[in-house]
């Protein structure tokens, strides 16, 4: 009984430490301080570090028999690091490097993160269903991000409430639409916050907190696993945390590799120092893989110093194409590669393994390749003597490929979008509407929805009562879902276009339609009207970005009561159509 009381107090203390550490961190980084305040903040750092040491030691004693070795190693490192920081300040330990503010901020960040995953994540299905929980996590991120971007040190000249929440929503929803220039308007602190919002929004904050919470605690409730199973689309409850771990590890691996490739394809003369070049590489790698489209450059990759850097364009294109394929597709390919290596090279597999490349992967890959190839050809044809005129040879092909790939929710641009032909604009609108693939970092109706809808049309035209491909029959649930997604996308986009066109009398309808499709599909491309929109229109775009990111079906599922499985069927009637 006493142990349970101590554990409850320890959990409560973890929450207080979490709140206290983030409050100090934001106050220190977000506000300018005089000498007196700086001294108080410094003392607050010491207090938090001491409390964290005490709380961690208590947690270790209470759960010693349940703690994993790796978790124990991390806690041990944290204790040693914080103790060294404290001893250095009292001149007991002589490590002058630890006096740098970077290490103090890093220490407080570690405290914040450790306590975030320390207290249990418990939400009952009777309180919030998976759709409501998913939407709530995005709303919390957007609200917190907007408030942080309002801090004085986040921007160089201040920012309005609407613009702060517009930027936060665009980052969390990995859209990339901006009302102020990211590179020149926001400070390094503000850009770092935007980068964190992109990362958390691209993968999902619940993916981070749930996995690392389970990782550090070693267990979780069955109720939590059921909710996370629905959110992650896992087939089995036992696969939930394995899937979350793979998603996080694969994301970090691709982003680090991408940042390295970007770094080595940059001209050193453009940057002041190593830090600027490294931050630029990491920012664009994360923004690229998460299909966010944010850039620290005023005109994205159309800047003169980057416009003809074709290896850089290919690196970023690779990142957002991989991110847009979706984690299930990537995992399926990794499994296939393992099979090839094991079976073809080493012949370790004794049994035949059928259908390693599943039907979902086949449909997504074929649709993606068709859209990329046709999009590249059409972009090349329509823009040959227009926006591609300044490029030569292979440069035209690479730029056309990039122009066809980026509307698939990436949002980067290597050409002047305002100068595009009207025909090209409508091609881009279509590509934006389709978007990326399911369970990816991108938006849109998704490639599978388009493929299933087209297959259903052809099957109906041929008089077939079912949809078949690759000797498999597509379930009616998938067909119904794709039709619903397509219909709802037009309703949301149409309503948003109606509202903005009613509010903005001086903006061309083509630009409004382009902007709205870009917002709904979380693309980030614009014909240059984003900053010209009124406050009301910006909020319409904010809602459109949010609905497009979380999904129209998810929004409806959150609003409606979940219907129990029906154990009856009414007589079937045919309805006259066409």
Q: What pLDDT digit, counting tens, does each position of 171-225 carry?
A: 988 888 888 888 888 998 899 999 989 988 877 654 544 444 444 444 444 445 4
Give the percent of the chain with pLDDT over 90. Answer: 24
Q: DSSP H helical segments within 356-508, as ranges?
A: 359-383, 394-405, 422-434, 447-461, 476-503
The answer to whether 440 and 447 have CB atoms below 8 angstroms apart is no
Mean per-residue pLDDT, 545-571? 77
* CB proximity list for 200: less than 8 A, separation 6 or greater: 141, 172, 208
User: Phi and psi dihedrals of 4, rounded to 5?
Assistant: -65, -40
Mean per-residue pLDDT, 5-25? 76
At residue 141 the predicted structure's pLDDT band, cuts being 50, 70 and 90, is: confident
Mean of the per-residue pLDDT values for the chain? 81
Query: What's the pLDDT at 222?
Result: 42
Between 66 and 393, residue with greater pLDDT: 393
Mean per-residue pLDDT, 98-119? 74
Distance CA 510, CA 500 (A): 12
What own/partner pairs with CB < 8 Å and gap ≥ 24 does 101-110 have? 104/45, 105/25, 105/28, 105/29, 107/45, 107/49, 107/81, 107/82, 108/21, 108/24, 108/25, 108/28, 108/45, 108/48, 109/25, 110/78, 110/81, 110/82
Query: What's the pLDDT at 91?
Result: 66
Mean per-residue pLDDT, 319-331? 84
Between 355 and 168, residue with greater pLDDT: 168
Distance CA 224, CA 230 (A): 10
Mean per-residue pLDDT, 49-56? 82
User: At 306, is the secondary structure helix, strand, or coil?
Assistant: coil
Give me Rg for the CA atoms of the chain. 26
Helix (H) or strand (E) holding 473: strand 472-473
At residue 165 the predicted structure's pLDDT band, cuts being 50, 70 and 90, is: very high
The DSSP result for 240-251, as a single string, is HHHHHHHHHHHH
Query: What's the pLDDT at 130?
Result: 67
CA 391 to chain centre: 32
Residues facing 155 on adjacent strands: 186
Distance CA 442, CA 461 (A): 32
User: Phi and psi dihedrals of 401, rounded to 5?
Assistant: -60, -45
Mean per-residue pLDDT, 263-270? 87
Residues facing 469 on adjacent strands: 472
Does residue 308 surpass a pLDDT of 80?
yes
- Per-residue model confidence as pLDDT tens digits over 111-126: 777 776 665 455 444 5
Distance CA 52, CA 562 (A): 43
Angle, in degrees to the nearest 10, between helices 205-217 and 188-203: 80
The answer to whether 411 and 530 have CB atoms below 8 angstroms apart is no
Give the percent of the chain with pLDDT over 70. Answer: 81
Least confident of 284-293, 377-386, 503-512, 558-567: 558-567
Query: What's the pLDDT at 133?
Result: 74
The answer to whether 300 and 412 have CB atoms below 8 angstroms apart is yes
The DSSP result for 524-558, as a single string, is ---SS-GGGS-HHHHHHHHHHHHHHHH-HHHHHHH
- Per-residue model confidence as pLDDT tens digits over 434-479: 988 887 777 888 888 999 999 988 888 888 888 888 888 888 888 8
User: At 468, is the secondary structure helix, strand, or coil?
Assistant: strand
Does residue 94 surpass a pLDDT of 50?
yes
Query: What's the pLDDT at 348?
Result: 58
The DSSP result for 177-235, as a single string, is --SS-HHHHB-HHHHHHHHHHHHHHHH-HHHHHHHHHHHHHS---HHHHHHHHHHHT-S
Query: What's the pLDDT at 398?
Result: 93
Query: What's the pLDDT at 369?
Result: 93
Burial of 372 (0-12, 13-18, 19+ CB in 10 A): middle
Highest mean pLDDT out of 92-96, 218-222, 561-565, 574-578? 574-578
User: At 491, is the secondary structure helix, strand, or coil?
Assistant: helix
At residue 244 the predicted structure's pLDDT band, cuts being 50, 70 and 90, is: low
Residues facing 454 on adjacent strands: none
Task: State the Cα angle at 524 between 523 and 527, rounded to 5°.
Answer: 120
Residues facing 472 on adjacent strands: 469
At residue 536 the predicted structure's pLDDT band, cuts being 50, 70 and 90, is: very high
- Per-residue model confidence as pLDDT tens digits over 394-434: 899 999 999 999 998 788 888 888 889 999 999 999 999 99
Does residue 538 surpass a pLDDT of 50?
yes
User: Phi and psi dihedrals of 484, rounded to 5?
Assistant: -65, -45
Query: What's the pLDDT at 481?
Result: 86
């Amino acid at each position: 009984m006493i142990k349970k009381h101590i554990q409850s107090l320890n959990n409560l203390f973890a929450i207080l430490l979490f709140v206290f550490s983030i409050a100090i961190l934001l106050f220190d980084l977000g506000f300018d301080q005089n000498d007196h305040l700086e001294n108080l903040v410094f003392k607050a750092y010491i207090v938090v570090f001491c409390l964290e040491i005490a709380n961690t030691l208590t947690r270790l004693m209470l759960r010693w028999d349940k703690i994993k070795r790796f978790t124990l190693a991390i806690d041990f490192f944290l204790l040693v690091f914080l103790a060294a920081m404290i001893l250095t300040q009292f001149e007991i330990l002589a490590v002058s490097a630890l006096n740098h503010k970077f290490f103090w901020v890093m220490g407080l960040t570690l405290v914040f993160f450790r306590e975030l995953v320390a207290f249990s994540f418990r939400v009952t299905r009777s309180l919030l269903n998976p759709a409501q929980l998913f939407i709530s996590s995005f709303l919390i991120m957007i609200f917190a991000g907007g408030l942080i971007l309002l801090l004085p040190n986040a921007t160089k000249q201040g920012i309005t409430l609407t613009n702060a929440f517009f930027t936060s929503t665009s980052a969390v929803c990995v859209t990339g639409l901006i009302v102020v220039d990211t590179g020149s308007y926001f400070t390094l602190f503000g850009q770092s916050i935007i980068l964190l919002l992109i990362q958390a929004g691209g993968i999902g904050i619940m993916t981070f907190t749930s996995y690392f919470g389970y990782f550090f605690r070693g267990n979780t409730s069955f109720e939590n696993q059921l909710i996370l199973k629905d959110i992650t689309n896992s087939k089995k409850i036992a696969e939930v945390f394995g899937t979350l771990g793979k998603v996080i590890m694969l994301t970090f691996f691709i982003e680090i590799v991408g940042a390295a490739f970007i770094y080595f394809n940059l001209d050193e003369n453009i940057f002041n120092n190593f830090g600027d070049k490294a931050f630029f590489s990491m920012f664009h790698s994360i923004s690229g893989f998460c299909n966010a489209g944010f850039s620290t450059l005023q005109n994205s990759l159309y800047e003169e110093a980057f416009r003809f850097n074709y290896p850089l364009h290919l690196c970023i294109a690779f990142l957002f194409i991989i991110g847009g394929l979706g984690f299930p597709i990537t995992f399926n390919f990794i499994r296939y590669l393992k099979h090839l290596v094991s079976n073809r090279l080493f012949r370790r597999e004794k049994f035949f393994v059928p259908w390693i490349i599943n039907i979902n992967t086949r449909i997504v890959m074929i649709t993606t390749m068709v859209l990329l190839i046709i999009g590249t050809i059409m972009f090349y044809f329509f823009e040959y003597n227009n926006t591609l005129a300044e490029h030569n040879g292979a440069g035209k092909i690479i730029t056309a490929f990039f122009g066809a790939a980026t509307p698939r929710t990436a949002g980067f641009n290597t050409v002047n979008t305002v100068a595009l032909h009207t025909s090209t604009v409508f091609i881009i609108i279509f590509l934006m509407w389709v978007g990326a693939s399911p369970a990816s970092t991108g938006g849109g109706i998704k490639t599978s929805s388009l493929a299933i809808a087209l297959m259903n049309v052809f099957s109906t035209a041929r008089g077939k009562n079912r949809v078949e491909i690759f000797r498999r029959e597509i379930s009616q649930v998938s067909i119904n879902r794709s039709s619903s997604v397509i219909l709802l996308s037009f309703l949301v986009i149409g309503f948003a276009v109606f509202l903005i066109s009613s509010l903005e009398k001086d903006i061309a309808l083509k630009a409004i339609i382009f902007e709205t499709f870009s917002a709904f599909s979380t693309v980030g491309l614009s014909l240059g009207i984003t900053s010209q929109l009124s406050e009301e229109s910006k909020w319409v775009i904010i809602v459109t970005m949010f609905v497009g990111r979380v999904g129209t079906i998810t929004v409806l599922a959150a609003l409606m009561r979940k219907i129990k499985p029906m154990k009856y069927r009414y007589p079937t009637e045919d309805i006259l159509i066409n």
